[in-house]
């Protein structure tokens, strides 16, 4: 359940940032880069801030 929620949230954030960049300015693409970098670092370190947040919210 946790990994499914994580993938859903990451996908939502990427799509949201693309919509924001389209309508409000290209600087929102830095948010896309931030999400991508967090996903990349979590692949190497096995730690993701969103997993920690979801764990605190009780999602297992």
Structurally, the chain folds into a number of domains equal to: 1
In angstroms, the first-to-last Cα distance of the chain is 6
Specify the DSSP class assigned to residue 57. Answer: T
pLDDT digits (tens, 9 = 90+) for 8-50: 999 999 999 999 999 999 999 999 999 999 999 999 999 999 9
pTM across the whole model: 0.83
pLDDT at 60 over 90: no
What are the distances in angstroms from CA 48 to CA 22, 23, 57? Answer: 28, 29, 15
CA angle 52-45-20, nearest 5°? 60
* Host domain of residue 21: 2-56
């Amino acid at each position: 359940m946790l990994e499914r929620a994580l993938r859903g949230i990451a996908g939502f954030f990427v799509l949201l940032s693309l919509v924001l960049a389209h309508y409000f300015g290209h600087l929102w693409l830095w948010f896309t880069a931030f999400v991508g970098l967090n996903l990349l670092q979590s692949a190497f370190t096995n730690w993701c801030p969103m997993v920690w947040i979801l764990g605190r919210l009780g999602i297992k």
